[in-house]
Amino acid sequence: MARGLIRRLVFGLIAIAGVIVLAFLLEFVVPGDPARAIAPRATSLQVLANIRAQLHLNQPLIVQFAGYFGNLLRGNLGTSYIQHQPVAAVIGPRLLTTGVLALAGVVAEVIIGGSLGILAALYSRVRALIGAVNLTLLAVPIFVLGLLLLLLFGFKLGIAPVSGGAGPAELVLPALTLGLIGAPWYAQIVADQMQESLASSYVRTAVSKGLPDSYILRRHVLRNVLSPAITMVGLDLGSYLSGVVTVEVVFVWPGIGLLAVNSLHNLDRPIVMGTVIVGAVAVVFFNLVADVLRMFVDPRTREEP
């Protein structure tokens, strides 16, 4: 069990390193000169050259990368080109804001999707209807849904704020958007698992033992549904933390996604790298957490393969 976790952790670290290398290389493919983005509009070539020298931009790629990676290993993410603050100080609060949204989004999708899935599994009459709802939600692009919700609740009904921000009132619509977009996946997986479980031999055993239906659902069915749902929550938390760009842009939610987009425009490479690294770490970390949780829920995953 411990060995399996360590192996997964090592693979995760390798994956993170791979992401860092790839992101670093990609930034040099992006056209544009950071020095021009930093300097005022009409600047002499000498000033630009000074900026480049200051940021080591005139050195070979491999040297720049070695310098960056060396700093990274020492826990130094660098300094923002534009805001002249340590990257960690810029990203930190943004990560928290995105974390709140990611968590609220996952809670929303688990509640919406889980309920739809359970209803679909238990009542064959609504199964087709829920299938149609799932399909519709899957087909709607996330920004369209976000804008529609904003139009309806923000402008038409006037019960939700439209100005952007990170307060509790501003959280509702973006979280709902994430929840609705993610719900069909949970609905499908929960419905499938649950139907499989309900038709299983062990549920028949439970019935033959004269256990009440609600008891069978709680003790025998739901525990078997939990395991794949946990895996998906882990994946979602990781990927949402790495930036729910569309939702943050639509609702002007000041999180990591918004930061990454702006920094990419400004060619603020240290910040972009920082957001990429945070995303990669989040994905690996929450996958690992999900694996550990699954071991508690499903004893079969505790055994070494």
Partner 1 sequence: MTAELAEREPALEVTDLNVRYGRMHAVRDACLIVPAGRVVTLIGETGSGKSSLALAAARLLPSSATITGRVAIAGRDTSGLGSGEFRRVRASLLGCIAQDAMAALNPVVPVGRQVGELFTQHAGMSRQQAREAAVAALAQVEIRHPAAVARLYPHQLSGGMRQRVMIAMAVALSPPLIVADEPTTALDVSTQAEILALIGELRGRMRSGFLWITHDMGVVAELADWAAVMYAGRIVEQGPVETIFDAPAHPYTEGLLRTRRDLRSGPVGAPLFQIPGSPPSPGEEPAGCAFAPRCSRATQVCAEVDPGLEPVRRDVGEGGSFGHVAACHHPVGRSAGASSGLAQGRSVEGQRP
Q: By the criterion CB under 8 A, which residues form the site for partner 1?
A: 200-202, 204-212, 215, 219-220, 223-224, 227, 297-300, 303
Ordered DSSP codes for 79-128:
B-TTT-SBHHHHHHHHHHHHHHHHHHHHHHHHHHHHHHHHHHHH-HHHHH
DSSP 74: T
Half-sphere exposure of 292 (CA within 13 A, CB side): 12
Q: Are 112 and 180 in contact (CB under 8 A)?
A: yes
Q: Which is nearer to partner 1, 157 or 199 (CB)?
A: 199
Least gap, CB of 198 to partner 1 (angstroms): 11
Q: Which is nearer to partner 1, 218 or 265 (CB)?
A: 218
Least gap, CB of 210 to partner 1 (angstroms): 4
Least gap, CB of 187 to partner 1 (angstroms): 22
Please state, in angstroms and rounded to a whole number, the distance separating the CA atoms of residues 264 and 260: 6
Q: Which is nearer to partner 1, 40 or 212 (CB)?
A: 212
Least gap, CB of 205 to partner 1 (angstroms): 5
Least gap, CB of 120 to partner 1 (angstroms): 18
Least gap, CB of 294 to partner 1 (angstroms): 10
Least gap, CB of 141 to partner 1 (angstroms): 38
Q: Which is nearer to partner 1, 36 or 127 (CB)?
A: 127
Kindly list the distances between the CA atom of residue 236 and the CA atoms of 63, 239, 257, 285, in Å, as whole numbers in the listed order: 36, 5, 15, 12
> What's the full length of the chain, in residues?
305
Q: Which is nearer to partner 1, 166 or 221 (CB)?
A: 221
Q: Which is nearer to partner 1, 56 or 204 (CB)?
A: 204
Q: Which is nearer to partner 1, 44 or 201 (CB)?
A: 201
Tokens, residue 123? 């009542």
The CA-to-CA distance between both ends of the chain, in Å, stands at: 9
Of 192, 157, 159, 173, give the one whose Cα is nearest residue 108: 173
Q: Which is nearer to partner 1, 73 or 303 (CB)?
A: 303
Those residues with Cβ within 8 angstroms of residue 297's Cβ, 6 or more apart along the chain or in another chain: 223, 226, 227, 230
Q: Of all residues in the chain, what percent are helix, strand and coil, respectively (each to 5)?
A: 80, 0, 20
Backbone dihedral angles phi then psi of residue 163, each to the nearest 5 degrees: -85, -10
Least gap, CB of 122 to partner 1 (angstroms): 14
Those residues with Cβ within 8 angstroms of residue 227's Cβ, 6 or more apart along the chain or in another chain: 294, 297, 298, 301
